[in-house]
């Protein structure tokens, strides 16, 4: 007999780092417990506005706002939006109370978590970063479970006496069971098999600071034997597409990115939690240049944590120059032992099965019927 449908609310968004983990967990949850019906609650002004309509899940977008720390007089919008959102969530839950509210961070999660807490619905949190955000810090104490992307985050949280803390990693699309060989991936990119391949990725929107340095670096002349796969970001692509050359491949965006990962010796990226999780899963040494304006400087904390593990080198944006990039690439190109050590350290941090493990924990904690757990 098929179990009755079980509703689970997912709340989070504003940025991809708070939305995509929720989607990965929801999909793993449905694979293991097909009767579960995830429903996403997000903000009308966040990335979820564009992403959720393309998914298989039900969703509700609300007039949610962050706390305006630099312009506190605008917080009336936050208060009014929260009141309206509370009513909307109550209406949404009226036909069937959810079994849990799973928050994945960001301002879009707070009201739903508060609603769940007030109505006796178990709340669970996933925190992707090493420095927990405001939402996680606020709701950690009463949560049923805290899922952490970085184990370092636990020391910055006050969990409740009955809260499970599980550093299971960030839910990502894991590498394929049999990825392309490095040689095959490089043939696909039209690059020499023996090249030292540097992958530069600044996210879907790109990172202007990274792009400007890489553009100047390629113009000055790459070190002998070095090749670059460079994702500029869609909005910045027009300014850099003409930099394509024998040893330089320029793309607006890499989707899927697997063949670029398979070809890379070194990645130069921002330090978002999801990016780091993917690099570790692929065992790719990295040069991490955190976004200085990231909330609570969380990317710097991420980069420092991964550097401490030996998997990456952290470079503040102010120090990321053509000279420093060129020197780092040359040193690693000539020191394959150091590169191998970083590779192994990255794999040690990797949790490619995080989504499945988190879903399994949710199912067991809530006592749901499941199939295919493993």
- Checking if the pLDDT of 151 tops 90, the result is yes
Give the predicted TM-score (pTM) of the model. 0.89
Q: Are strands 58-62 and 123-127 parallel, antiparallel or unpaired?
A: unpaired
Sign of the alpha-carbon torsion through 316, 321, 322, 323: negative
Residue 72, pLDDT score: 82
pLDDT digits (tens, 9 = 90+) for 299-357: 999 999 999 999 999 999 999 999 999 999 999 999 999 999 999 999 999 999 999 99
Using alpha carbons only, what angle is made at residue 29 by residues 25 and 30, rounded to the nearest 5 degrees?
125
Residue 79, pLDDT score: 84
Residue 207, pLDDT score: 87
Spatial strand order in the sheet of 248-251 = 248-251, 226-231, 196-201, 266-269, 286-288, 312-314
- Checking if the pLDDT of 373 tops 60, the result is no
Chain mean position to CA 56: 20
Helix (H, G, I), strand (E, B) or coil at 234: helix
d(CA 5, CA 39): 12
Query: 90 preceded by cis ω (within 30°)?
Result: no
66-75, 141-150, 181-190, 257-266: least confidently modelled range: 66-75
Whether the Cβ atoms of residue 205 and residue 235 lie closer than 8 Å to each other? yes
Q: Which residue has the higher pLDDT, 268 or 161?
A: 268
The residues, any chain, with a CB within 8 Å of residue 241's CB and separated by 6 or more, are 232, 250, 252
Among 293, 331, 298, residue whose Cα is nearest residue 313: 331
| Token pair 């960001």 in the structure block, residue | 106
Q: Which helix (H) or strand (E) holds 280?
A: helix 273-282
Average pLDDT over residues 166-175: 93
Residue 374, pLDDT score: 43
Q: What burial letters (b/e) apply to 138-151, b meaning 16+ CB within 10 Å? A: bbbebbbbbbbbbe
| Token pair 């940025």 in the structure block, residue | 15
Give me 94's structure tokens: 């009226």
Percentage of the chain with pLDDT > 70? 97
pLDDT digits (tens, 9 = 90+) for 24-56: 999 999 999 999 999 999 999 888 998 999 999
- Residue by residue, DSSP assigns 321-332 as -HHHHHHHHHHH
Among 165, 179, 130, 160, residue whose Cα is nearest residue 358: 165
Chain mean position to CA 192: 31
Residue 294, pLDDT score: 82
User: Any idea how long the chain is?
Assistant: 374
d(CA 271, CA 288): 6
Q: Are strands 100-103 and 196-201 parallel, antiparallel or unpaired?
A: unpaired
The residues, any chain, with a CB within 8 Å of residue 357's CB and separated by 6 or more, are 168, 169, 351
Structural domains of the chain sorted by starting position, each given as residue range(s) with its CATH number in brackets: 6-171+353-366 (3.40.50.2000), 182-349 (3.40.50.2000)
Average pLDDT over residues 183-191: 96
pLDDT digits (tens, 9 = 90+) for 56-115: 999 999 988 877 778 888 878 878 888 898 999 999 999 999 999 999 988 889 999 999
The residues, any chain, with a CB within 8 Å of residue 266's CB and separated by 6 or more, are 196, 197, 198, 199, 284, 285, 286, 287, 329, 332, 339
Residue 1, pLDDT score: 53
Half-sphere exposure of 288 (CA within 13 A, CB side): 31
Residue 2, pLDDT score: 58
């Amino acid at each position: 007999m098929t179990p009755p449908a079980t509703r689970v609310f997912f709340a989070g968004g504003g940025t991809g780092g708070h939305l995509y983990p929720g989607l990965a967990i929801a999909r793993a949850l449905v694979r293991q417990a097909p009767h579960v019906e995830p429903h996403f609650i997000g903000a009308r002004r966040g990335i979820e506005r564009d992403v959720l309509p393309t998914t298989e899940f039900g969703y509700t977008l609300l007039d949610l706002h962050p706390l305006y720390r630099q312009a506190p007089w605008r917080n009336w919008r936050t208060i009014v939006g929260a009141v309206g959102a509370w009513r909307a969530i109550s209406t949404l839950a009226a036909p069937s109370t959810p079994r849990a509210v799973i928050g994945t961070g960001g301002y879009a999660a707070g009201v739903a978590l508060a609603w769940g807490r007030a109505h006796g619905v178990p709340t669970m949190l996933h925190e992707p970063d090493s420095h927990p955000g405001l939402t996680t810090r606020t709701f950690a104490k009463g949560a049923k479970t805290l899922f952490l992307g970085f184990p370092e985050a636990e020391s910055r949280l006050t969990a409740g006496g009955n809260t499970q803390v599980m550093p299971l990693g960030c839910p990502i699309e894991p590498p394929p069971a049999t990825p392309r060989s490095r040689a095959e991936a490089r043939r696909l990119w039209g690059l020499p098999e023996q090249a030292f391949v540097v992958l530069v990725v600044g996210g879907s929107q790109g990172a202007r600071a990274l792009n400007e340095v890489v553009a100047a670096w390629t113009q000055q002349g790459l070190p002998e034997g070095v090749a670059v796969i460079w994702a500029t970001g869609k909005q910045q692509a027009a300014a850099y597409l003409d930099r394509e050359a024998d040893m330089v491949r320029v793309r607006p965006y890499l989707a899927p990115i697997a063949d670029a990962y398979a070809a890379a010796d070194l990645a130069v990226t921002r330090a978002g939690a999801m990016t780091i999780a993917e690099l570790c899963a692929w065992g790719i040494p990295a040069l991490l240049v955190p976004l200085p304006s990231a909330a609570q400087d969380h990317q710097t904390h991420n980069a420092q944590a991964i550097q401490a593990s030996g998997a990456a080198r952290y470079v503040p944006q102010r120090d990321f120059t053509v000279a420093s990039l060129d020197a780092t690439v040359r040193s690693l190109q000539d020191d394959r032992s150091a590169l191998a050590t970083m590779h192994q350290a990255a794999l040690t941090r990797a949790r490619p099965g995080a989504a499945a493990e988190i879903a399994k924990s949710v199912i067991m904690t809530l006592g749901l019927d499941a199939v295919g757990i493993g």
